[in-house]
Amino acid sequence: MFPNCPGGLRQRCALRWLLALGIGWFASIAIVAASPTDKVRIQLRWLHQFQFAGYYAALEKGFYQQEGLEVELVEGSPDRQPVREVLAGHAQYAEGNSEVLLARLQGERLVALAAIFQHSPSVLLALRRSGIESPHDLIGKSVMLMDNRNDPDFLTMLLNEGISPDRVNVLPSSFDFADLLEGRVDAFNSYLTNEPFLLQQRGIDYTVINPRNYRVDFYSDILFTDEDELRNNPRRVEAVRRATLRGWRYAMEHPEEIIELLITRYGVTKSREHLRFEAEAIRGLMLPDLVEIGHMNPQRWNHMADTFVRAGVVKDTNGLEGFVYGEFRERPLPAWVAGSLLGGAVLSVVATLLAIHFFRMNGRLKRAENEVRTANQMLTEKLAEIEDLHERLQERAMRDALTGLYNRRYLDETLGRELARAKREGYPLCLALIDMDHFKQVNDTYGHMAGDEVLQHLGRLLRSNAREGDIPCRYGGEEFALVMAGMPLAAARERAEAWRSLFAASPVRHGQLSIAVTMSVGLAAYPDNANTAEELMQLADEALYRAKGEGRNRVALAG
């Protein structure tokens, strides 16, 4: 068989021939593995637009192909929704909103791979002339939603505000924005990234009802798959996720290139100005300069699930375990390790020599991999400790040590930002300034420890009666402030009267003493009274002093 080899060397020549055959086999395996043979379908939530920019970038820049993937992007439609398409096996991957979590809690084995948007763009739009400014104004009105499964954040918002969904006339969406413009409905499910541009272009004044202002702040545009895909194709799942996030990073760094691509390659009919508006609005929802694209915090998913439970949308959160990919995925073995094992089978003629060789190599690799896994785990734990410490230090820097409320520094930094968002999204904002009546007498009569207990008592009252989106602060001394986004002036007055009555009727116990204190409140609102943060503060302060001048223990409005 080996005529050119001397007799004593023929065994060695045979071994070399078999090794060469094995190396050639490995090379052919590597070539096959590198070819884009994995065909996958990704279901988008809606029509082609900048909302899905990262997927187009990953496809057009070859990021999917480099991962060995042949990807088809499928437009969404009323009849082609992400959760249904994945569950039916029509797509292996899709992008959806909070309905992905809802389906998981209802028993569907979906897995969230990445949260592209840190905040949801889903809002309700109403025309300003309708007088709708808050969820309470929707009672008895007609509101277009997709359905409770695909819009659970709106249902949760109503329930959080104590509004039974039965009191709102919910209509299935026509997906025709003209229904709002022509008055056939009072409020329309919209995206902050899209429909507001149409209203601004037409000069139509509008109101935004954003669930974020009513204790519903959900992830959105979530890349997801199901457990079968994760179990059967773990390397493909990681490849799809990695290439998609790479695409999103590229898209947010090159928005004009993606806009050109949408118009020329995908036939998007929106104007360039509209697409630029969409890109900028998406940047504000993704926060790519502050948060790693795709980041998911398991605690935030827990909060979302708990929100669904409190709202009665689901019974419990038992189905949440295993939902977040980043928590539970196992690191896939490198492709060449599997090839090595197969190669060993092919080269069974030299089983004794190669088995020893591969056994030793595999042992070293496993030991090295265990060491890497242990080091990674230790590093992850240390990073988590550092992040937790950083968050606690940040929290202390913006909290009042006595009451636990936000401090004046945080109020000064936040009020302008909250007002700017209210203007941008078209909803009201109210500022309440609160001052305890005759507080100096409390300190002089009962001592400063008693005074501190009174301050803490008012802090607890404000915190327990604040909505999740409200910002309660200790402004200084015995003065407090509360920023209420999405709160019309009339509704804010009702709330302030309730706090005033409750505080006056609940004396503070200090030892054997019962200390009764009252408070005065001044209210100012955008757009009713003021247009800047400085004006809000000044007018609320003037209203507060008017309340004191008129006898204290009362609420006064600016203007």
Considering the domain architecture, whether residues 305 and 200 belong to the same structural domain is answered as: no
- Let me know whether 200 and 170 are in one domain: yes
- Residue 388 falls within a domain, yes or no? no
Q: For the domain that residue 201 is a member of, what is the CATH number?
A: 3.40.190.10
Clarify whether residues 418 and 515 are in a common domain. yes
What is the count of structural domains for the chain? 4
Q: What per-residue confidence (pLDDT) applies to 343?
A: 56
| Reported confidence tier of residue 217, pLDDT bands at 50, 70, 90 | confident
* Same domain? 311 vs 341: no
10 Å Cβ neighbour count for 169? Answer: 14
Q: Average pLDDT, stretch 250-258?
A: 97
Cβ–Cβ under 8 Å, residues 434 and 521:
yes
Task: For residues 530 and 133, give the distance between their C-alpha atoms in angstroms, rounded to a whole number.
Answer: 17
My answer on whether 321 and 341 are in the same domain is no
Q: Which domain holds residue 42?
A: 36-117+219-254+292-328
In this structure, are 499 and 481 located in the same domain?
yes
Both tokens assigned to 337: 């390790």
Last residue of a domain, one of 195, 214, 233: 214
Residues 485 and 515 in one domain: yes
> What pLDDT digit, counting tens, does each position of 13-57 carry?
544 544 444 544 444 444 344 344 689 999 999 999 999 999 999
pLDDT, one tens digit per residue, over 278-320 is 999 999 899 888 889 999 998 899 989 988 888 788 899 999 9
> Within its chain, how far is the Cα of 556 from the centroid?
38
| Cα 65 to Cα 57, 58, 250, 353, distances in angstroms | 12, 9, 16, 38
Find the CATH number of the domain harbouring 517.
Answer: 3.30.70.270
Distance separating alpha carbons of residues 436 and 424, to the nearest angstrom: 34
Residue 283 in any domain: the answer is no
342 and 324 in a common domain: no
Residue 427 falls inside a structural domain? yes
**Domain for residue 516, yes or no?**
yes
Residues in the chain: 559
- In a domain? residue 132: yes
Q: Do 28 and 42 belong to one domain?
A: no
User: Do the domain assignments include residue 377?
Assistant: no
Across the chain, mean pLDDT equals: 84
Asked which of 182, 214, 246 is the last residue of a domain, the reply is: 214
> What are the pLDDT digits (tens) for 92-115?
999 999 999 999 999 999 999 999
Q: What is the signed CA dihedral for 472, 473, 477, 478, rounded to 10 degrees?
A: -10
Query: Based on the domain organization, do 452 and 534 belong to the same domain?
Result: yes
Contact 520, 437 (CB under 8 A): yes
Cβ–Cβ under 8 Å, residues 478 and 453: no
Position 509 scores a pLDDT of 87
Residue 238, in any domain of the structure: yes
Query: Which one of 151, 186, 214 terminates a domain?
Result: 214
- Same domain membership, residue 227 and residue 348: no
Look at residue 329 and tell me whether its pLDDT is greater than 60: no
Instruction: List Cα–Cα distances, 161 to 29, 139, 155, 378, in angstroms.
Output: 60, 12, 10, 43
Does residue 260 fall inside a structural domain?
A: no
What's the whole-model pTM score?
0.60
Residues 152 and 202 in one domain: yes
